[in-house]
Amino acid sequence: MKSMESIYNRVQLEYGYSDYQMKLIKFTLTAIFYDVSKFIIFMVYFYISGQFIEFLFAAVPMFLLRTKNGGLHFNRYWSCLLVSFIYFYSVINILPALFNIHPLMIYPVLMICAIVDYMIGPTSLKNRDAAEESVIKKAKIQSFQVVFIVASLIFIFQDSAYLIVSFWTVVLHTIQLSITKLLKEVKCNEKLA
């Protein structure tokens, strides 16, 4: 750890970064490391369990939607790891087994998800400066497009069990996005009271 600190100090001196900029760099590198390590853990688990392809069909839309729309975030690595695992396990194993959705019901559900994602997103529980309206609108449109692509793929490849995983990923993302919005409103109301 001491060698990392000396690397940070050397970078700060060489490039003239402020302490605040160095904190941002450390935060970004830590977040990248945490996300990459979680992804590797999940890849290994689902590869060993014989569900690697299903994992990819869950991970791609989840990544695209979360980077555009945000969602629930946790302050601790282990809680984030656990909730992320439950998320992936649910969309791959639990939800497809519990709910046998009629193919014609998939499209209205995805349309509702696309509309809800567009109306709510992007949102996060983290306190951030408000983004420009153009950035927000672009993120909303891109998340709508992700859901539309999932719907189109399901329409083209109707018998694909892998795309059902993508469907449940969109549904679960929309649910957790809605929960995030509600929690954020409660948090704001508590501050006002």
pLDDT digits (tens, 9 = 90+) for 8-29: 778 778 888 888 888 888 888 8
Once rounded to an integer, what is the mean pLDDT over residues 108-121? 92
Helix (H) or strand (E) segment spanning residue 124? strand 123-124
55-73: pLDDT as tens digits: 999 999 999 998 888 877 7
Please give the single-letter amino acid code of residue 75: N
Of the CA atoms within 13 Å of residue 105, those in its CB half-sphere come to: 7
Helix (H) or strand (E) segment spanning residue 70? strand 70-71
Whether the per-residue pLDDT at 94 is higher than 80: the answer is: yes
Confidence of residue 111 (pLDDT cuts 50, 70, 90): very high
Can you say whether residue 71 is alpha, beta or left, with left for phi > 0 and alpha for psi between -120 and 50 degrees? left
What distance in Å separates the CA atoms of residue 162 and residue 50, rounded to the nearest whole number?
A: 13
Per-residue model confidence (pLDDT) at position 126? 57
| pLDDT above 70 as % of the chain | 92
For the entire predicted model, the pTM comes to 0.82
Helix (H) or strand (E) segment spanning residue 149? helix 133-156
